[in-house]
Structure 1
Amino acid sequence: MRFKASIQNITTFTKLTASLNSLGPLAWVKLSDDQVCFTIIPEQGTQVWAALSIDTIFETYTVQSAANNVINLEVPLGPLNRALKSALNATSAQIRLTKKDSMPLLALTIVTTSSSNSYSAFPTGASNDGGLDAPFDDSFGGGNRETIITQEVPVRVLAPDTVAGLHEPQCREPDVHIILPPLLQLKSISDRFTKLALAGARSGPGSTASRTRLEMAANMHGCLKMSIKTDAMSISSVWTDLSNPELDPGQVAGGEIGISEHPSTRMKLLGSADGRSEEGWASVRIDGRDWGKVMSVGRLGGRVIACFCHEHALILYVYLPSDNGEDESVLTVRDLALAFLITPLNN
């Protein structure tokens, strides 16, 4: 079993692990020849299914195993994120699967250069020995020094049988799909709504809704609505002039005919662009604080498409920024980085 890769995009990798860590402490990481997959399936809350192409994060990449060159790991996201933070200013970084005292580890080797004679302090991550292995190399002239640091993150190797039953859940075709406004803007407003709802519900034990019901709704005319209703208050915010991306005939069963019969096509015949019509809306009720955690993925940038299955599920598809000229008006799975399945609350 062998895994070794050089990291070409430390910033994206660090932001990704920080976002995932807000939703769960452990991730199932699946390494294969063409993808790196991060999966979080908490007992309660949002599921994450992230599938990244190799060149999104890595430059050189090698994975070998007796199980068709697939390695499954259980990785603690907090220690991994702290280790990656120490590499943000590195000139190069490599990650590999190794062992220490029979314990499997992800070893992150970081190379930095400095023109000063002073030592730099780096976070120790989760390694047992402080995470530092930093010999100095004076091969650079003119006072430049190369520092090599190794951060070690304990992991657990998962047998193929352990993860064989884990599959991305299947949902019915969405009634509405819409490109969301900036997630940090959504997070700010939803956090404010949640705090107001909790403050208004603290009238006595048992009366507060520990899971604040935030209602999200959208239509096929570029409108998004976020609202909270309690016995004491009712507030909402509405966005208009958002984009509803077109479906790609090549990725819809039945092609053009399938699109003509798609639920979102029927929903487009209802409602209006000013958001005032009560028709044509698909909505779900979700936990406000869980939604706030999901919004942390906004640090990655890129576009986010929300797919509403009316009163059934809300799925967010997060696309990393791309320089390939991809048409953002078309809903496609190309360049998809993460998929969030947000658990709806019962009425």
Structure 2
Amino acid sequence: MRFKASIQNISIFTKLTASLNSLGNFAWVKLSDNQVCFTIIPEQGTQVWAVLSIDSIFEVYNIQSAANNVVNLEVPLAPLTTALRSALQATSASIRLTKKDNIPLLALTIVTNSSINPRGAISTTGNSQEDSAFGNGYEESAFGRERETIVTQEIPVKVLSADSVSGLHEPRCREPDVHIMLPPLAQIKGISDRFTKLASGGAKPGAGMTAANAPRSRLELSANMHGCLKLSIRTDAMNISSVWTGLTNPELDPSQVQGGEEGIAEHPSTRMKALGSADGRSDQGWATVRIDGRDWGKVMSVGRLGGRVIACFCHEHALILYVYLPNDNEGEDESVLTYYMSSYSA
């Protein structure tokens, strides 16, 4: 079993793992010949199924295993994110699967270059002191007026058998009633956090209460097929909402819908489009879900990756978010993160 790759986009890789880490401590990582998959399945809360094209993160990529060149790993996200952050200013970085004392490891090797000025002081392109602090070892070599620093950081992982993950699959949801392109997630997150804070009165957890067991605030998220999105929160003391209009409802692709054109004509979103209005004032044609405010705030952290986000509403049942990462190369497969959030009952 072998895996080794050079990383061409440290920033995206770091933002991805940091975003996933907000929702779970460990990820199931599936490495194959043509894609890399990250999956978070917490005991409760949002599930994430991310399918990334190899080129979105890696450059030179080699994988080999007896199981059709597929390697399944359980990876702790916090140590991986910390290691990647130390490589943000690196000249180059690579990652490989290895072993030490029979313990499987992901070894992240970071290379930084330093220049030596005429007085002998060293100017470093990366943070070598921080890298050395996190790394398990490093080497230095000087060539002329430059010094190359190599740091290797090791993250313990578990190798999973194909049988142990064969039963894992994405949640099954019915066809959505509404699908809509979301505005910038940073904008939604700012309003969501403000609503959640108002609902809790801005109070800090009291004696015997932690942030983890503090009362939860539930947000109500609604959308229609006329470009309208509404974010609301209701308590005994208040009822506030924020509405966006003029958003895009993507057209369905007949090749992706069962029954083609006829299937689109009978699709729930087509029936919903016959209701409602573009000004958002009609009470008809809305699909609604109720979600945990704190969990939603964590999901919104994926906005740091950029890209477009399509929200699919299954009325009173679930919200599915499709986050498409920016793709600079036309014709390449898109990388998409899929978030599944169950709706609370009214």
TM-score (norm 1): 0.91
- The answer as to 2:283 corresponding to 1:278 is yes
Give the Cα separation in 1 of the matches to 2:107 and 2:202: 49
Question: Where do 1:109-148 residues align within 5 Å?
Answer: 109-116=109-116, 117-118=121-122, 120-123=128-131, 131-139=135-143, 141=144, 143-148=145-150
Alignment match, 1:101 = 101
Alignment match, 1:165 = 167
Alignment match, 1:297 = 302
Give the Cα separation in 1 of the matches to 2:215 and 2:330: 44
Give the Cα separation in 1 of the matches to 2:170 and 2:33: 19
Give the Cα separation in 2 of the matches to 1:236 and 1:324: 39
Letter in 2 for 1:285: R
Letter in 1 for 2:171: P
Alignment match, 1:312 = 317
What value does the CA root-mean-square deviation take over the aligned residues?
2.1
Match of 1:210 among 215, 228, 245: 215
Alignment match, 2:210 = none
Other structure's SS at 1:14 match: helix
Identity of aligned residues (%): 73
- CA-CA distance at 1:211 after TM superposition: 2.2
1:31/1:37 contact within 8 Å kept: yes
Q: 1:304 to 1:124 in 2, by over 3 A?
A: farther
- CA-CA distance at 1:322 after TM superposition: 2.2
- CA-CA distance at 1:110 after TM superposition: 0.8
Alignment match, 1:79 = 79
Alignment match, 1:41 = 41
Match of 2:199 among 197, 216, 221: 197
Residue by residue, what CA displacement relative to the aligned partner does 1:83-139 show, whole Å, maximum 9, x if unpaired? 1111111111110000011111000011111113547312468xxxx5242211223
Q: 1:147 to 1:123 in 2, by over 3 A?
A: closer
Alignment match, 2:250 = 245
1:83/1:124 contact within 8 Å kept: no
2:29/2:73 contact within 8 Å kept: yes
Question: Where do 1:22-41 residues align within 5 Å?
Answer: 22-41=22-41
Q: 1:150 to 1:61 in 2, by over 3 A?
A: same
Mean CA deviation greater in 12-21 or 261-270: 261-270
Letter in 1 for 2:215: S
Give the Cα separation in 1 of the matches to 2:339 and 2:106: 26
Give the Cα separation in 1 of the matches to 2:99 and 2:132: 18
Letter in 1 for 2:167: G
Mean CA deviation greater in 252-261 or 10-19: 252-261
- CA-CA distance at 1:325 after TM superposition: 6.0
Residue by residue, what CA displacement relative to the aligned partner does 1:239-294 show, whole Å, maximum 9, x if unpaired? 00011111112211122221121111111111000000000000000001100000
Other structure's SS at 1:89 match: coil
Give the Cα separation in 2 of the matches to 1:341 and 1:302: 18
Give the Cα separation in 1 of the matches to 2:194 and 2:94: 41
Give the Cα separation in 2 of the matches to 1:248 and 1:274: 26
Give the Cα separation in 2 of the matches to 1:67 and 1:95: 21
Give the Cα separation in 2 of the matches to 1:135 and 1:176: 56
Other structure's SS at 1:134 match: strand
TM-score (norm 2): 0.91
1:194/1:288 contact within 8 Å kept: yes
- CA-CA distance at 1:57 after TM superposition: 0.5
- CA-CA distance at 1:198 after TM superposition: 1.3
Alignment match, 1:5 = 5
Q: 1:161 to 1:15 in 2, by over 3 A?
A: same
Give the Cα separation in 2 of the matches to 1:97 and 1:156: 11
2:245/2:278 contact within 8 Å kept: yes
Q: How many residues align?
A: 332
Q: 1:209 to 1:344 in 2, by over 3 A?
A: farther
Other structure's SS at 2:269 match: helix
In structure 2, list runs of 5 or more residues that go unmatched.
Answer: 208-212
Alignment match, 2:338 = 339
Letter in 2 for 1:258: G
In structure 1, list runs of 5 or more residues that go unmatched.
Answer: 327-333
Give the Cα separation in 1 of the matches to 2:52 and 2:329: 16
